[in-house]
Structure 1
């Protein structure tokens, strides 16, 4: 059906479809019973006629905030806009980035002069975001933490904690004489252990840009100076990840935990690497539950030698009273 065009007072054209839409929007504010005006009751989520009290609509979407405030000061403290702040960015996510696509709001490409202007704006924007050496240091370190956490598959809460630890080290002037990468790796290692999602030193060294000796030295220094409480890693913390990467069943994971608990009661965990104990427990549990897994596969996942797995494996079975 062809559309009928009409001429408005301003000389613009309107289609009959647009006119019908406007009429419908006008009619929506009128009561279908008495023709009176309707009003939105935001508290109850209803649209009610002012004349006859008819509830025209109910269960409407509340577009207001999810919090409640009882005075002006509380309302000001809870009010917010935009994305939440995060410790994972040096400016806590409060700054603005200028896109690199060189296109305007309509998707059209910018001219040569406009592209040059936008490039200058990007340069100055980046300079203002990192105005001093401390912010540049923090930006580089938080980028390193995010990169290593992604490579290790660590969750967001570990990254946030590592960012807070690094900020504390920077504020207390612990970085002179130490590399940014070393302190960032130490902060991530400590945060992973605090969140009961630990990674071994070898795994940290693989994704870091520092050697293991520097990592252990810096880690001990950061822990001591900041007074962080980091409990020794438990072998059980490694078991779920090892079983997941080896595609083992829940029964195998449960059996591995039982072997570790028996070894703890037998007093053979003292002085042993928790990674080695966890890997050996997973290997032994897989054999006990008739799941096929080799020492080489477990060694590759746990990043330890097969000799360590064999030694710990025999000790676990001896404590549990099973033949090796």
Structure 2
């Protein structure tokens, strides 16, 4: 809400109004009435208060983040450029040593977090995941470290498992194959670690919705919005007859997209669809047969072939 500026004193109608920013008060210079007090200062908060700060003034630091080993709450002993403003070499060397010891990490957990969170950022960047997923994955990894769940497992596999769990919680469709490609860990190992970590930490994960994978698969296959909508419709029909239960979400989503592409005359081979979805042609073929049979779609497919 934007407040209107006070133009005259309510006591003496004077327009000689003074606003004291430091005290947070608006005062009438003529009668001394405090017109307004406890005002919020919306100006910038400078961290540097030297008179010669000028354009070099720095504001408060970045917000706290789970993706930093100290959660962004640590302090720094100046910057390298600041040290060269010191008078003598002795003073400069002293602050260089202080800075070096200040940034050193003391505990084993902190050392682990610094390396692990750098790896988490790398994998997240490779997969183009949003910041919210990155933060959630970092939080999960921290909890795993604190409870000793990382012991006996590779750091990379726990990071991949945490990222996969975060993706599932935020309904960001990423497959274990994609996680494996990004992290260099086998998808079976990622799956095992993911299940172990979520079970031990009591993290509830909703079942994957096959429809979440449709936009990405359709985009990779260059299919039209009509085909994409049809595949979502097929998945809804499949869910109603419980055809999606007990089946991998990527396989059933890819098969629905394959059927929709046939119906709309945008034929793609089973191999093309399988490669995009990260499943085998056999999976596509089996899910395709089930969809055609259970949903009675054979007539629609045959009709499109005759066009």
TM-score normalised to the size of structure 1?
0.67
1:262 touches 1:319 (CA, 8 Å); kept in 2? no
Question: Cα 1:276–1:138, aligned 2, differ >3 Å: closer, same or farther?
Answer: same
* Aligned match of 1:82: 61
Q: Secondary structure at the match of 1:39?
A: strand
> 231, 236, 255: which one pairs with 1:256?
231
Question: Cα 1:97–1:310, aligned 2, differ >3 Å: closer, same or farther?
Answer: farther
> 207, 225, 233: which one pairs with 2:200?
225
* Aligned match of 1:126: 103
Q: How does 1:39-118 map to 2 (within 5 A)?
A: 39-40=18-19, 63-64=42-43, 81-95=60-74
Give unmatched runs, 5+ long, in structure 1.
Answer: 1-30, 52-61, 66-79, 107-111
1 CA distance for matches of 2:127 and 2:103? Answer: 29
* Aligned match of 2:55: none
Question: Cα 1:37–1:156, aligned 2, differ >3 Å: closer, same or farther?
Answer: same
- CA apart distance, 1:97: 6.6
> 240, 243, 251: which one pairs with 2:218?
243
What is the aligned length? 260
Question: Cα 1:40–1:294, aligned 2, differ >3 Å: closer, same or farther?
Answer: farther
Give unmatched runs, 5+ long, in structure 2.
Answer: 1-7, 9-14, 31-40, 45-58, 302-307
TM-score normalised to the size of structure 2?
0.70
- CA apart distance, 1:37: 4.9
Deviation by residue 1:117-159 (Cα, 9 ceiling, x = unmatched): 99867644431xx221100111122122211111112211111
- CA apart distance, 1:40: 4.1
2 CA distance for matches of 1:97 and 1:140? Answer: 19
* Aligned match of 1:175: 150
Q: CA RMSD in A?
A: 3.8
1 CA distance for matches of 2:20 and 2:261? Answer: 62
Question: Cα 1:228–1:251, aligned 2, differ >3 Å: closer, same or farther?
Answer: same
Deviation by residue 1:238-276 (Cα, 9 ceiling, x = unmatched): 112222333433332221111011112223223321101
Question: Cα 1:99–1:277, aligned 2, differ >3 Å: closer, same or farther?
Answer: farther
* Aligned match of 2:12: none
2:83 touches 2:96 (CA, 8 Å); kept in 1? no
Q: Secondary structure at the match of 2:18?
A: strand
Question: Cα 1:50–1:243, aligned 2, differ >3 Å: closer, same or farther?
Answer: farther
2 CA distance for matches of 1:289 and 1:264? Answer: 22
> 168, 174, 178: which one pairs with 1:203?
178
Deviation by residue 1:205-234 (Cα, 9 ceiling, x = unmatched): 111132233222222221221111112212
* Aligned match of 1:282: 257
> 140, 147, 154: which one pairs with 2:129?
154
2 CA distance for matches of 1:115 and 1:305? Answer: 63
Deviation by residue 1:40-86 (Cα, 9 ceiling, x = unmatched): 498xxxx99967xxxxxxxxxx7359xxxxxxxxxxxxxx9432111
Larger radius of gyration: 1
